[in-house]
Amino acid sequence: MTKKEDVFRKQVKKVHRLLALLFVLFVIAGGGIISYMVNPNILDFMSKSETVAIAPVEVDEDRIENGIHVRTGLIDAEGLMIVVNNCTNCHSSKLVTQNRMNAERWNATIKWMQETQNLWDLGRNQEVIVNYLVTNYPPKAKGRRAVLTDIDWYELED
């Protein structure tokens, strides 16, 4: 072997090693890219994002405070939610509570709303609603006071 051949052979070996190294790097990089494409979450373990649990803020739509349904101002009593769900959709509950009627007039008002204002059929809830209204928002006392009874008259002296 001449000295020249020896040098040449060493150079070929170097190039060969370099190519092999490049090939290995290429395979590693390629494999990484492919697995990232298949599963993009694969790098998630490197990100330090913390999962912050956000507690839902609970707003109780139907909160009762001091015996009053806060959202509508209606008295908390039997039938409350049926009244809330059927009678506060179209107009304020004030319109309901400022009208103090007896059962007969309530039924007539409901019938009127059904005939002219698209109020739906209340079915068996109607009785519950009317009961609630008559019990909790009874008709106001009569405008004229009742006649006095049991009066203890006294004699006028001369």
Q: Which residues bind ligand HEC (CB under 6 A)?
A: 86-87, 89-91, 95-96, 99, 109-110, 113, 117-119, 122, 129
DSSP 18-31: HHHHHHHHHHHHHH
Write the DSSP assignment of 62-100 as a string of letters: T-EETTEETTTTEE--TTHHHHHHHHSSSS-HHHHHT--
First to last CA, the chain: 166
Q: In the complex, what is the shortest distance from the CB of residue 149 to ligand HEC, in angstroms, rounded to a whole number?
A: 34
Residue nearest to ligand HEC (CB): 87
Go through the chain and tell me how many residues it has. 158
Minimum gap (Å) between residue 75 Cβ and ligand HEC: 14
Q: CB of residue 87 vs ligand HEC: minimum separation in angstroms? A: 3
CB closer to ligand HEC out of 64 and 100: 100
Cβ 77 to ligand HEC, closest distance in Å?
Answer: 14
User: Taking the CA of residue 94 as centre, how many other CA atoms within 13 Å lie in the half-sphere pointing to its CB?
Assistant: 1
Residue nearer to ligand HEC on the CB measure, 8 or 120? 120
